Amino acid sequence: MKTIALLIALMISNFILQAQEETKGITITVTVPNVTSSEGEVLFGLYDESTFLKAAPIQGEKSNIVDGVATITFKNVPKGVFAISCFHDKNGNNRMDFEDNGMPKENYGISNNNMSYGPPVWQEAKFEVNSENLEMEIRM
């Protein structure tokens, strides 16, 4: 009887630990290897389709620039489809600055590094988060 009770207790604790592992989420480590100067910071945003470049990111991170490289890690990312954008905030005003004609003054990049003319497009930037931690490089 004690053996059965112990076995049931172990099974329940294993189930709880697995549930906690699943809710912990995935990490996404992002590196920008080609920042043009050490002025300011690089700001990163993790978006889903409904918020992509329209609203505040699901998660936002900042990175100092060391030897032309900026790196951050998004933590506890759930499974799903996401995109990442980043920009070099040289003047530290926490927003991307634009010329009068709408062209960006500060360098930027998106996940998958597909940079065409015009603003970034969800279909070109999206990627899937499953059960593996991710590492990616975004070029500006």
Q: Which two tokens stand for residue 40?
A: 């300011």
User: Which tens digits make up the pLDDT trace of 66-113?
Assistant: 999 999 999 999 999 999 999 999 999 999 999 999 899 999 999 999
Assign residue 136 a region: left if phi > 0, alpha if psi is -120 to 50, beta otherwise? beta
User: Which whole-number Å values give the CA distances from 114 to 69, 108, 111, in the listed order?
Assistant: 20, 12, 8
In the prediction, which pLDDT does 7 show?
34
In the prediction, which pLDDT does 48 show?
98
Q: 107, 109, 105, 33: which is closest to 68 by C-alpha?
A: 33
Distance CA 46, CA 33 (A): 18
Q: Where would I find the H helices in 25-131?
A: 122-125
Q: 21, 18, 26, 23: which is closest to 128 by C-alpha?
A: 26
Q: Which two tokens stand for residue 66?
A: 């060391």
The pLDDT of residue 27 is above 50? yes
User: Which tens digits make up the pLDDT trace of 44-60?
Assistant: 999 999 999 899 999 99
Q: What percentage of residues in the chain have a pLDDT greater than 90? A: 76
Give the class (CATH, top level) of 26-137.
mainly beta
What is the model's pTM?
0.81
The pLDDT of residue 12 is above 70? no
Q: Which two tokens stand for residue 84?
A: 């990442």
